[in-house]
Each structure stands twice: as C-alpha cells, then as structure tokens.
Amino acid sequence: MTKFRHLIFTLPAAIGLTLSASQSFAQDPGDQPGLVADDSFQLDPEWQKQVVLYRTTEAPGTMIISTAERHLYLIQPGGRAMRYGIGVGRDGFQWQGLVNITNKKEWPDWTPPPEMIARQPYLPRFMAGGPGNPLGARAMYLGTTVYRIHGTNRPDTIGTKVSSGCFRLVNNDVADLYDRVPVGTKVIIRQKPEL
C-alpha cells in the first residue's frame, strides 16, 4: 500500500515536470515561419491605422515608437500624426533610443541572429522573403542594431508584447509606412508615454 501511495504522489509530479519541460521548448507564438497571414483578420479599432492629434516638437517625418502604448507615430504637419498599431518586444526585450532608418527592403529575407537561434533553436537559419516569412511584406532597418520595423505573418499579434525587440505591423500598414518614409528617417523609441 505504501508503494501505491508513493506512486500516486509521484505520478502527478512527473507529469507536471514533463509538461513544463515541453513548454520550455514550445514555439514562440510570435514567430511562425511558413504561416501565411490571414488577410481576413480584422484588427481592433485601437490598432488600426488612423490620423490622430499629436503634440510634439519633433519635425514632420519623424517616427516616434511608444512601446508602452504599442503605437508607432509618423509625425505630420499641423499637430497631427499617422498612428499605427504595433507588436513590440516581450518583457525583457524592450529597448529605447534614437536611431535612423538605414535600409529598406520589400519582402525581405530573414536570417535570425545567433542570439535568437540560441533561444529558439527550432527557427530556420535562413528564410527567403515571401508571404510565409515572419518579416512580412516590408522591413525598415534601425541603425546598426539587429532590430527592424517590419510586417508580420501573424496579424493577431498586433497590440501585444511578443517580439524579440523588433516592431511589427500588419502587412498593409507596413507597406503604407514604407512608402511614406525614406532611408535616413529619424526614429525615436520610447518605453514610457510622452507627458
């Protein structure tokens, strides 16, 4: 009887340990190579592209990314901004700074950096651009960092903290933004909202 009780108490612990170990190797919900974006997905109005009032001393054409709000603002003349809903870095992967757009690519190829591969060993080492690529339809490269403003094949991640530090938009929005900004555009990344 004692052996039976020991088995009853040991079995749930073993199952729990197995489940927690398998979850640590589970795929990051934000990066799903090969998944083609669901174009019928409807963003919540909060994350849809729209013109908003926005007070700032920054010049028109400047981009301001607010990770706390999960919005990207492209400053327009007259105290306005084009606001886009974005997905941002998950906890521990958010950052702030001042950079410029140093490169732009349509349907970019994806080569995950070694640090990302170490965290997510199931990721491909290279993936050609296209509808199933996690970088989506466009990418704008930020300074000398490994980070980008890019599209996504997961529109359901907009408005969430899911990336490894990049900023993602739905493909229609990233294509719109891409056409509006040149290489050299000033990008301000803030973790806290401007007061």
Instruction: Supply the residues annotated as catalytic.
Output: 150, 166
The answer to whether 59 touches 75, Cβ cutoff 8 Å, is yes
Within 10 Å of residue 70's Cβ, how many Cβ atoms?
Answer: 19
**Would you state the structure tokens that stand for residue 4, as one six-digit string?**
């039976």
Residue 146 CA to residue 166 CA, distance in Å, equals: 8
Phi, psi of 5 (to 5 degrees): -65, -45
Would you call 171 exposed, middle or buried from its count of C-beta atoms within 10 A (0-12, 13-18, 19+)? buried
Within 10 Å of residue 86's Cβ, how many Cβ atoms?
Answer: 27
- Partners of 50 in beta bridges: 83
β-strands 148-150, 167-168 pairing: parallel
Type of residue at 130: G
